Structure 1
Amino acid sequence: MTDSLVIMGVAGCGKSSLGAAVAQATGLALVEGDDFHSEASRAKMSQGIALLDADRDGWLGVLGEQLRAHPEGLVLTCSALKLSYRERLRQAAPGLRFVFLDISREQAQARVAARAAQHFFSTTLVDSQFATLEAPTGEAGVLRVDALKSLDQLQAEVTEWLTAKKEQA
């Protein structure tokens, strides 16, 4: 049973911030999924071109390798927008859990616009993220949280959930 966790959701939902907070609170390693996109994929996204499944294939493979390389557990930030992407990550780490940062399109758009100077992701891609999103509602091992809560509230909610899951195991 892995102690790994994916912080998932559309661009701008707060994956990196929550991932860092949870990693610090739990002592788990943090793997920032965006760091593993190919240069070609980064270029596409910065130009406002949405990634296709083929673009994400190698990236998901590398993220799976990261999960396997940390059998002690880790916190991975990854959009994991489609069920097929989540299933691929689950194959790499049986028992993998997901925290779904749920946010409205308008709020995500505002957050992506606010960070535009520091991040490669184009604001024009927010709509494509929502079009691609297959919300993990009803999937086992998924905690849905409100992305608009404070970072402290979110970190506490996730850490409490992880602790409760460990006690049940």
Structure 2
Amino acid sequence: MATTCLVVMGVAGSGKSTVARLLADRLGRPMAEADEFHSEANIAKMSAGIPLADADREPWLVALRDWISEHDAAGQGTVVTCSALKRSYRDLLRGATARVRFVHLSGTREVIGERMASRSGHFMPPTLLDSQFADLEPLGDDEDGISVDVAAAPEQIADRVCQGLVR
């Protein structure tokens, strides 16, 4: 039987890393930060304020999908952070052998923009936030997951996910 991977998704600055860490700790699962799967070329592009194209993202998503499948083969459920902005990206991740469920951290451009402006040490500049919102395709009704407003505290978001998705 396949394990479950929770993919905490959303635009940059939505709180993916914070919520994913809480979920991984609560569930005792390994966690992967999708940012760590980017190539140096992708990071350089984003650092320069250039949005990634789908062709840039595909090898990144394949590597992440394969990480999920490797842990599934070992019998481990996982938690992953990944923007997963487009359905086609989520479809690629759903190609993992594990059951892949999505937690969409949604919020307004203003709230998330303020969060991005206050963080330091991240390669994604706030200037790319508009391109992220332009690419965002919210979860469809037929997609396995939930959407949670980022206005809630991270602990409350983790509570909702555990109540709604972890079975």
Could you state the TM-score of these two structures normalised by the residue count of structure 2? Answer: 0.94
The amino acid that maps onto 2:20 is: G
**Partner of residue 47, structure 1:** 48
Match of 1:118 among 121, 129, 150: 121
The amino acid that maps onto 1:80 is: A
Find the residue that maps to 1:91 and give its secondary structure: coil
8 Å CA contact retained: 1:95, 1:141: no
Displaced runs of 4+ in structure 1, greater than 2 A? none
Match of 2:77 among 73, 77, 86: 73
CA deviation digits over 1:80-128, x for unaligned, max 9?
000000000001135210000011111111111111x311101110000
Looking at structure 1, the residues matched to 40 and 103 of structure 2 have their Cα atoms a distance apart, in angstroms, of 27
Q: Give the C-alpha shift of residue 139 in structure 1.
A: 2.9
Correspondence 1:157 to 2:160: yes
Q: Give the C-alpha shift of residue 47 in structure 1.
A: 1.0
What is the root-mean-square deviation in Å for CA atoms of aligned residues? 1.1
Greater shift, 66-75 or 133-142, is seen at 133-142
Find the residue that maps to 1:70 and give its secondary structure: helix
Match of 1:143 among 140, 146, 157: 146
The amino acid that maps onto 2:158 is: Q
CA deviation digits over 1:26-56, x for unaligned, max 9?
0011101011111111111111100000110
**Partner of residue 17, structure 2:** 16
Could you state the TM-score of these two structures normalised by the residue count of structure 1? Answer: 0.93
Looking at structure 1, the residues matched to 117 and 41 of structure 2 have their Cα atoms a distance apart, in angstroms, of 22
Find the residue that maps to 2:94 and give its secondary structure: helix
Looking at structure 2, the residues matched to 137 and 12 of structure 1 have their Cα atoms a distance apart, in angstroms, of 22
The amino acid that maps onto 1:155 is: A
Correspondence 1:98 to 2:99: no
Q: Give the C-alpha shift of residue 2 in structure 1.
A: 2.5
Looking at structure 2, the residues matched to 93 and 22 of structure 1 have their Cα atoms a distance apart, in angstroms, of 21
The total of aligned residue pairs comes to 163
Looking at structure 1, the residues matched to 121 and 53 of structure 2 have their Cα atoms a distance apart, in angstroms, of 24
